[in-house]
């Protein structure tokens, strides 16, 4: 059985017992999670999320970059079209992890990584690429400085430990900006 045959078979089971047409485009916990694409750190798995609970954006390392910001700036338009303003009551959770592959990018392809992150090559040194705890705090601070994002929601920074499966709250929830 090839991969497509395998997922087709699994989807048939999902249609029978997992699918719900009642799920909404607005995440039921009003939460957006930003994480790494590493298959070991899927927020659906490690946070035991249920379908429809959170909107999840994943890239290499879960680091803030221009593409991710574009998505985040567009998402409130999606929610508004669905009848809900993104603001108070919403959460933005930044989820980084230990043993992240972004460290390999830093070592082996720093120019590509700098382009991906939207920074100069010389700035990479100061981005705490190898330290997820410092990196998640840096990113929370970076999001707080983006004026195009709705300011009313809470932001927090979490690190997942690959070796234990535990999360550690590095940056407790605080309002993105106080102007809303
Ligand atoms: Zn990673």
Alpha carbon distance 87, 152 (integer Å):
4
- CA torsion through residues 68, 88, 171, 27, sign: negative
Mean pLDDT for the stretch of residues 75-85: 87
| Rounded Cα gap, residues 105 and 125, in angstroms | 13
User: Ligand 1 centroid to 6 CA: how many Å?
Assistant: 26
pLDDT score recorded for residue 82: 87
Position 91 pLDDT exceeds 60: yes
Mean of pLDDT over the chain:
94
- Ligand 1 mean position to 100 CA, how many Å? 4
- Written out in words, the top-level CATH class of the domain with range 21-175 is alpha beta
When pLDDT is averaged across residues 127-142 and rounded to a whole number, the result is 97
Q: How many whole angstroms from 67 Cα to the centroid of ligand 1? A: 17
- Confidence band (pLDDT; 50, 70, 90) for 88? confident
How many A from CA of 117 to the centre of ligand 1?
14
Quickly state the pLDDT bin for 179 (edges 50, 70, 90): low
Residues surrounding ion ligand 1 at CB below 5 Å: 36, 38, 100-101
Contact present, 60 and 101 (Cβ < 8 Å): yes
Give dist(CA 1, CA 98) in Å, integer. 34
Q: Where are the alpha helices (DSSP H) in 110-179?
A: 110-117, 132-144
d(C-alpha 159, C-alpha 33), whole Å: 12
Six token digits for residue 28: 């039921």
């Amino acid at each position: 059985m090839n991969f497509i045959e395998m997922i087709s078979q699994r989807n048939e089971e999902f249609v029978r017992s997992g699918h719900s047409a009642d799920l909404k485009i607005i995440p039921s916990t009003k939460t957006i999670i930003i994480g790494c694409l590493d298959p070991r750190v899927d927020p659906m798995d490690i946070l035991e999320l249920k379908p429809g609970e959170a909107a999840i954006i994943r890239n290499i390392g879960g680091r803030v970059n221009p593409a991710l910001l574009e998505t985040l700036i567009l998402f409130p338009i999606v929610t508004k079209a669905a009848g809900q303003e993104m603001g108070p009551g919403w959460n933005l959770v930044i989820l980084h992890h230990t043993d992240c592959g972004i460290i390999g990018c830093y070592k082996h392809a720093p120019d590509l990584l700098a382009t991906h992150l939207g920074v100069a090559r010389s700035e990479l040194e100061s981005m705490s690429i190898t330290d997820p705890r410092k990196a998640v705090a840096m990113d929370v601070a970076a999001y707080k400085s983006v004026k195009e994002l709705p300011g009313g929601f809470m932001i927090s920074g979490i690190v997942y430990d690959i070796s234990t499966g535990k999360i550690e709250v590095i940056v407790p929830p605080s309002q993105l900006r106080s102007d809303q």
